[in-house]
Chains A and B, each alone.
Chain A
């Protein structure tokens, strides 16, 4: 792997992987740190990787590092304290009014189990297809579909409480 090749992987995957970490942890700084670690260790071990494995590998490494971080700081119950979403720069005005809606979503997402939330956000925010998510997380498409279904059911229920 040359520095140029590494840079192209970095450009393609840094933010998606970081967001994946954020979807799981809800901690932006931690996500950034871990993601940086992931890419550095990919560079250090570059000789052992074949390029076609790189995508699931990045997610796997990111997930593992996050788990071991949790293990290290001995957080038994990982409480998601906050999950903040922003309106993206190209958001139409009509949605900018919907602050409450956004907060309702954030609350609903925080109530979701981690695995469902991650998959749900990867699909909705990252706009990845189920297949793409399955590939990245090295899961079956069926598992993704199941997690999505469960996540949507929960979110629908939560949003109904907000009477939207």
Chain B
């Protein structure tokens, strides 16, 4: 400026060559603070990634579902054995001998469905539709008790309370059963009212019930309930009809004794739980 340099001509020039020095240079200080100067990490998540993640989640859910769905509990009974199976909702199944019941405990809340081979007596707790699948058809109910028989060449449903819907695999229409009604789809179609309930479901209380039953069928039933073998070679004897209702004895031999008392027959013991029925020689 105008007034500054006259008396001290060197001032401006001199000052120019002066400076201030610090222990730490600008760059030293930068090194101190550099770690704090960082771009906040912005995660760029691509759509592809999001899609993939979502897909993975969905797959996982599906996998869980499939896992829950496919977890199956199976109960089987051999000949000579009954079993009581409790289902997750408190429903109960009494499995007859030589039968198999399958259900999915973790899928139960989604669908009450059980798979049956053989014979079972169902007491279904009230709730959603309850379905029993068999090879020959489906039985659906809401809450009731009924007997399903799905044997090699026999399919029969008997309703003791509530309402039961039966749909055969082969038939397009379905049948509604009310208490006391019995429906057979195999070997031949037959719909009837059962007067004596016990005739169908006696087995669950360990009672034998035979109504004019041919003897060979009685023998088959004994084989089923006790295991072992009962043979009848005599054709005439096979056709004998047996009518009786009695508490199942403890052993096959004792059961056969009931027949001995009824008919004029002999029981030939062949060992290894094998018995042969013969007519008594006069």
Chain A 11-37, CB-CB to B under 8 Å as 1, else 0, gives: 100110011001100001101100110
Judge if B47 is at the interface, Cβ distance under 8 Å. no
Contact (Cβ within 8 A) B29 A35: yes
Within the complex, the shortest CB–CB distance from A118 to chain B, in Å, comes to 12
Contact (Cβ within 8 A) A159 B8: yes
Contact of A127 among B10, B16, B21, B23 (CB under 8 A): B16
Indicate the size class of the contact surface on chain A: 35 or more
* Alpha-carbon distance between A156 and B8 when the two chains are bound, in angstroms: 7
Within the complex, the shortest CB–CB distance from B14 to chain A, in Å, comes to 6
Residues of A within 8 A of B11 (CB): 124, 155, 159
Judge if B36 is at the interface, Cβ distance under 8 Å. yes
Query: Contacts A36-B29, A98-B14, A148-B1 known; A7 to B20 CB distance under 8 Å?
Result: no
Q: Which of B1-56 contact A (CB under 8 A)?
A: 1, 3-4, 7-8, 10-12, 14-24, 26, 29-30, 32-33, 36-39
Interface size on B, residues (CB 8 A): 28
Within the complex, the shortest CB–CB distance from B32 to chain A, in Å, comes to 7
* Alpha-carbon distance between A85 and B14 when the two chains are bound, in angstroms: 12
* Alpha-carbon distance between A127 and B13 when the two chains are bound, in angstroms: 11
Contact (Cβ within 8 A) B23 A149: no
Among A54-62, A63-71, A89-97, A132-140, the stretch in contact with B? A89-97
Chain A 134-164, CB-CB to B under 8 Å as 1, else 0, gives: 0000000000010011001001100110001
Query: Contacts A18-B22, A88-B18 known; A2 to B39 CB distance under 8 Å?
Result: yes
Most chain B CB atoms below 10 A, which of A29, A35, A88: A88
Query: Contacts A28-B22, A156-B7, A156-B8 known; A43 to B17 CB distance under 8 Å?
Result: no
> What's the A-B contact tally at a CB cutoff of 8 Å?
93
Contact (Cβ within 8 A) B18 A105: yes
Residues of B within 8 A of A152 (CB): 3-4
* Alpha-carbon distance between A87 and B30 when the two chains are bound, in angstroms: 25
Judge if A81 is at the interface, Cβ distance under 8 Å. no
A18: nearest chain-B partner, CB-CB: B22
Q: Which of B223-246 contact A (CB under 8 A)?
A: none
A36: nearest chain-B partner, CB-CB: B29
Within the complex, the shortest CB–CB distance from A10 to chain B, in Å, comes to 6
Query: Contacts A32-B29, A40-B36, A156-B8 known; A86 to B18 CB distance under 8 Å?
Result: yes
Query: Contacts A32-B29, A148-B1 known; A3 to B37 CB distance under 8 Å?
Result: yes
Most chain A CB atoms below 10 A, which of B3, B8, B22: B22
A92: nearest chain-B partner, CB-CB: B17
Contact (Cβ within 8 A) B36 A43: yes
B15: nearest chain-A partner, CB-CB: A124
Chain B 39-76, CB-CB to A under 8 Å as 1, else 0, gives: 10000000000000000000000000000000000000
Contact (Cβ within 8 A) A36 B33: yes
Within the complex, the shortest CB–CB distance from B34 to chain A, in Å, comes to 9
Residues of B within 8 A of A124 (CB): 11-12, 15-16, 18
* Alpha-carbon distance between A103 and B4 when the two chains are bound, in angstroms: 20
Contact (Cβ within 8 A) A87 B19: yes
* Alpha-carbon distance between A59 and B149 when the two chains are bound, in angstroms: 96
- Tell me the B residues contacting A by CB distance below 8 Å: 1, 3-4, 7-8, 10-12, 14-24, 26, 29-30, 32-33, 36-39
Besides A40-B36, A160-B7, 7 other A-B contacts (C-beta < 8 A): A6-B37, A7-B37, A28-B22, A32-B29, A105-B15, A152-B3, A159-B11
- Tell me the A residues contacting B by CB distance below 8 Å: 2-3, 6-7, 10-11, 14-15, 18-19, 22-23, 28-29, 31-32, 35-36, 39-40, 43, 84-88, 90-92, 95, 98, 101-102, 105, 124-125, 127, 145, 148-149, 152, 155-156, 159-160, 164
